[in-house]
Amino acid sequence: MTTNSLLERRFRVLGRNSPLFYDKPLQLVRGEGVWLYDADGKRYLDAYNNVPHVGHCHPRVVDALCRQARTLNSHTRYLDETVVNYAERLLATFHPSLQRVFLTCTGSESNELALRIARECTGNMGVISTAFAYHGNTAAVSQISSVFTTPEKRGPFVRCVPVIDPYRERNGRTDEQLADAYVHDLEVAIDDFERIGVKLAAVLFCTAFSSEGLPDIPRGYFPKVAAAVHAAGGLVIADEVQAGFGRFGSHMWGHDRHGMVPDIVTMGKPMGNGHPLAGVVTTPDLMDRFTSQNMYFNTFGGNEVSAAVGLAVLDVLRDEQLLQNALRVGEYVLDGMRALQKRHAIIGDVRGQGMFFAVEVVSDRQTRTPDATRTKAIVNAMRERGVLISRIGPHDNILKIRPPMVFSTENAGLLLSTLDSVLSDLG
Ligand SMILES: Cc1ncc(COP(=O)(O)O)c(C=O)c1O
């Protein structure tokens, strides 16, 4: 079976619009740690995937999954100690006000539930996201996922604030001035709702603005967002699907990193290292108010196997000190990227922390003009040379580099040298 004939078969059953990475799609057959292998046996360094958070097919996670699958996997309406153990372990990583969890299967489901809680508990309908956000694929969540949803499809209860872009918009302003300016954008959106009689239920932001291009978020911005949202009677929903589980190394959660305590936190992707496990964490008060009016039941969310997997992921993060690893290796990557920036004019900006990096590709450093064409060429050339990365941002010109948390300095060296040679060849 060649990759091409598999592609044709895929088109016939999954359709031509089911997204695939790279000009030449990859047929992966095996993964281990930071390595992926294609059908021809070629090895790729995974510098992109956050779902295999603690590494592809981590033996402790796989063992936990198999052991529990051999023992019991029913559904979520029986008493089970593993599930309670997991919920306790997970909640211990949160602020003392956030001590209840709903377990779900996907980030989309988590954001859908978060919107329901916010609307039910505030009695309001208005929701604000950013103008280039992705939060999931349910009916309500796709309305706020502005990256794929045109304004006409967002309906009367959704407003989007502009994407923050300090790289282009700082204009000599301090973090405080910049944070105030960006919060003003939020207040404009809230006033816009007020004018048509819509009250604010929630603001739902990714705490790293991942799809938006991983901007350097001005210090103090998120606490100011929370204050503005609460003053308008709404709730803050922190989407931690990409930023959570220690991705940035310094903190377990993106909102902690920015000194904000949200009302609701949603999570997914890395939570089960590839197994469909996601969740919503909130306060006892919000959970009680929501569940007293709505029976929330999820057949698979937080079943015995999911809980065993989730526990194993937390164990590996702790035992292999992966947050510390992310910080240490992350610094090495950033230093290397900044050195490349000095030699390659096409690199306009390098941002990031822990195991999440963004590299702005520009055609002109002075004007900071995004160069989407060459960004795409770099991503494809990296893939040809055996390193997997992707691209993000409203202008599609930002290299997105977000490896599994077990990425080592040796792996970082290969990432940097491959990028160096690709950029050199690009001229
Ligand atoms: C920030 C963010 N939120 C939510 C989601 C949706 O998660 P899922 O695909 O598990 O439904 C994604 C998926 O890419 C995401 O990146």
Q: Please tell me if the CB atom of residue 239 comes closer than 6 angstroms to any atom of ligand 1.
A: yes
Give the pLDDT score at 76: 87
Ligand 1 centre and the CA of 197: distance in Å?
30
Ligand 1 centre and the CA of 106: distance in Å?
7
Are 204 and 237 a contacting pair, CB within 8 Å? yes
From the alpha carbon of 268, which atom of ligand 1 is closest? 10
Q: Please tell me if the CB atom of residue 232 comes closer than 6 angstroms to any atom of ligand 1.
A: no
Query: What is the pLDDT tens value at each position of the chain, 427 positions in all?
Result: 688 899 999 999 999 999 999 999 999 999 999 999 999 999 999 999 999 999 999 999 999 999 999 999 998 899 999 999 999 999 999 999 999 999 999 999 999 999 999 999 999 999 999 999 999 999 999 999 999 999 999 999 999 999 999 999 999 999 999 999 999 999 999 999 999 999 999 999 999 999 999 999 999 999 999 999 999 999 999 999 999 999 999 999 999 999 999 999 999 999 999 999 999 999 999 999 999 999 999 999 999 999 999 999 999 999 999 999 999 999 999 999 999 999 999 999 999 999 999 999 999 999 999 999 999 999 999 999 999 999 999 999 999 999 999 999 999 999 999 999 999 999 7
Q: Please tell me if the CB atom of residue 206 comes closer than 6 angstroms to any atom of ligand 1.
A: yes
Give the pLDDT score at 75: 86
Distance (Å, rounded) from C-alpha 319 to C-alpha 327? 16
From the alpha carbon of 269, which atom of ligand 1 is closest? 10
Q: Please tell me if the CB atom of residue 212 comes closer than 6 angstroms to any atom of ligand 1.
A: no
The count of residues in the chain is 427
**Could you tell me the end-to-end alpha-carbon distance of the chain, in angstroms, rounded to an integer?**
37
Q: Please tell me if the CB atom of residue 402 comes closer than 6 angstroms to any atom of ligand 1.
A: no
Query: Ligand 1 pocket test: which of 242, 264, 402 has the largest number of ligand atoms within 8 Å of its C-beta?
Result: 242
This prediction has a pTM of: 0.98
Give the pLDDT score at 1: 64
Which residues contact residue 111 at a Cβ distance below 8 angstroms, ignoring those fewer than 6 apart? 135, 136, 138, 141, 144, 204, 237, 239, 266
Q: Please tell me if the CB atom of residue 145 comes closer than 6 angstroms to any atom of ligand 1.
A: no
236 forms beta bridges with 203
Q: Please tell me if the CB atom of residue 135 comes closer than 6 angstroms to any atom of ligand 1.
A: yes
**Ligand 1 atom 12 nearest Cα:** 135
Query: Ligand 1 pocket test: which of 239, 269, 280, 300 has the largest number of ligand atoms within 8 Å of its C-beta?
Result: 269
What region, left, alpha or beta, does residue 352 occupy, with left being phi > 0 and alpha being psi -120 to 50 degrees? left
The strands making up 126-130's β-sheet, listed across from edge to edge, are 100-104, 278-282, 264-267, 235-239, 200-206, 126-130, 158-161
**Ligand 1 atom 15 nearest Cα:** 135
Distance (Å, rounded) from C-alpha 286 to C-alpha 268? 20
Which residues contact residue 197 at a Cβ distance below 8 angstroms, ignoring those fewer than 6 apart? none
Give the pLDDT score at 427: 75
Q: Please tell me if the CB atom of residue 136 comes closer than 6 angstroms to any atom of ligand 1.
A: yes
Q: Please tell me if the CB atom of residue 242 comes closer than 6 angstroms to any atom of ligand 1.
A: yes
**Ligand 1 atom 7 nearest Cα:** 107
Ligand 1 centre and the CA of 136: distance in Å?
5
Q: Please tell me if the CB atom of residue 235 comes closer than 6 angstroms to any atom of ligand 1.
A: no
Q: Please tell me if the CB atom of residue 279 comes closer than 6 angstroms to any atom of ligand 1.
A: no
From the alpha carbon of 210, which atom of ligand 1 is closest? 1
Closest CA to 263 of 202, 221, 222: 202
